[in-house]
Amino acid sequence: MTAPFLPFTRPSIDEETIAEVANVLRSGWITSGPKVLAFEAALSDYCGGRPVRVFNSGTATLEVALRLAGVGSGDTVITTPLTWVATANVILEVGATPVFVDVDPVTRNIDPDKLEEAVTPQTKAIIPVDLAGLPVDRDRLYAVANKHGVRVIEDAAQSFGASWNDNRIGSTGDFVSFSFHANKNLTTAEGGALVLPPDIDPFLCERLRLQGMQRFTDGGMDVDVLGGKFNLTDIAATIGLGQMKHLEAFTARRRELARAYFAGIDPALKLELPVANFSNSNWHMFQVLLPAGVDRGKFIMAMKQRGIGVGVHYPALHLFTLYRAMGFKEGSFPKAERIGAATITLPLFPSMQDSDIDRVCSALAASLQEIA
């Protein structure tokens, strides 16, 4: 019998959570309500009591964080070119200019050795990204930010459940943005959360989340800032509450699967493996780099024919047409470009079986041999 297709990711949602979602649907209160408040409280507790507000996407949290930080026209924001394009798009959305810094070829995160030289008087913020769930070096990051008085908006979209110096990501730092998209370690189907620093008014964050609206006890209302439509539904929050119960188990299982990949991938295949970090990373993704000269499109097709789904996370975003029009080109950030052109995301999700790792490792060898 042919083995079922193995996608690169699949959410794990238990029957109890599904039943709770059905209860919310029956309740008639399906947009933002008591479940949102409960989810925010659970996230705040997870983040050491810091204020947390939930949104309909991780992208929205980044945009609102930039606005809360006062970033706008004439400002620059430093970030990495090796990330989902939303990280840079939100900088443009608030009227600022992205400044890219190339990545460390080992961690594949923004290179801390090159960070400070990118800071100018126009720099208002830094958006580091924890690629594949491996945290950026927070010590070096904040040393630069604090020295120059710039805000940090941690794009921790991929690192919920990870840690730095034994502290959960989100429990320390400036702004911290999480994503709960369907492919994340904790999902609400679509959604995100923003952890707020102590100098930011949570009520202002809430107004930016929903049209700038203030409501008064006498039935009156007012709008004093330009807000968006970024609120999370109770349906999504209910999924998140159910996911929170399993987060530690999810992370432990991902680490087990990552260890199995390190043990099972044949070194003779010449694949470039990620950093074997089992103390900080949540192993959101297991990414390998293909050997030079391998046609990635043919490789993806060969794996698909063997029943294995793989992903590409991410092409170097400065080579997209939108950013080329701003003057970026090949050679601007060579390390990010090399990694972006060669990266492959292998299947990794908690419900995978040990035998699935064996399937993937066998398919890797067969596919590379086939297209050689």
Tell me: the pLDDT tens digits for 218-256?
A: 999 999 999 999 999 999 999 999 999 999 999 999 999
Residue ending a domain, among 244, 263, 294, is: 244
- Find all residues with CB under 8 Å of 233, minimum gap 6, and list them: 30, 31, 32, 36, 56
**Is pTM, for the whole model, over 0.95?**
yes
Is the pLDDT score of 262 beyond 70? yes
User: What integer is the mean pLDDT of 292-298?
Assistant: 97
Is the pLDDT score of 53 beyond 90? yes
- Find all residues with CB under 8 Å of 372, minimum gap 6, and list them: none
Q: Quick one: pLDDT at residue 372?
A: 87
Phi, psi of 122 (to 5 degrees): -85, -10
Residue 7 belongs to some domain of the structure: no
Is 184 a residue of the active site? yes
Alpha helices per DSSP H over the chain: 15-27, 34-46, 58-68, 86-93, 112-115, 138-148, 202-209, 234-244, 247-264, 296-305, 321-324, 334-342, 354-371
Cis preceding-peptide flag for 46 (omega within 30 of 0)? no
- pLDDT, one tens digit per residue, over 20-29 is 999 999 999 9
Residue ending a domain, among 217, 244, 271, is: 244
Q: Quote the DSSP letter at residue 331.
A: T
Residue 219 belongs to some domain of the structure: yes
The reply to whether 238 and 264 lie within a common domain is: no
Beta-ladder partners of 129: 155
- pLDDT, one tens digit per residue, over 95-129 is 999 999 999 999 999 999 999 999 999 999 999 99
Is the pLDDT score of 7 beyond 70? yes
Residue ending a domain, among 194, 225, 244, is: 244
User: What integer is the mean pLDDT of 194-200?
Assistant: 98
The reply to whether 364 and 236 lie within a common domain is: no
The reply to whether 202 and 251 lie within a common domain is: no
Is the pLDDT score of 2 beyond 90? no
Residue 5 belongs to some domain of the structure: no
Instruction: Kindly report the average pLDDT of the chain as a whole number.
Output: 98
- pLDDT, one tens digit per residue, over 59-95 is 999 999 999 999 999 999 999 999 999 999 999 999 9
Phi, psi of 322 (to 5 degrees): -55, -40
Active-site hit among 35, 114, 124, 184 = 184
| Band of pLDDT at residue 299, cut at 50, 70 and 90 | very high
Say which amino acid occupies 244: M
The reply to whether 337 and 194 lie within a common domain is: no
Is the pLDDT score of 268 beyond 80? yes
The reply to whether 168 and 101 lie within a common domain is: yes
Q: Locate 187 and state its tokens.
A: 């999902």
Q: Quick one: pLDDT at residue 173?
A: 98
Q: Quick one: pLDDT at residue 1?
A: 61
Please state the domain count of the chain: 2
CA distance 255 to 281: 8
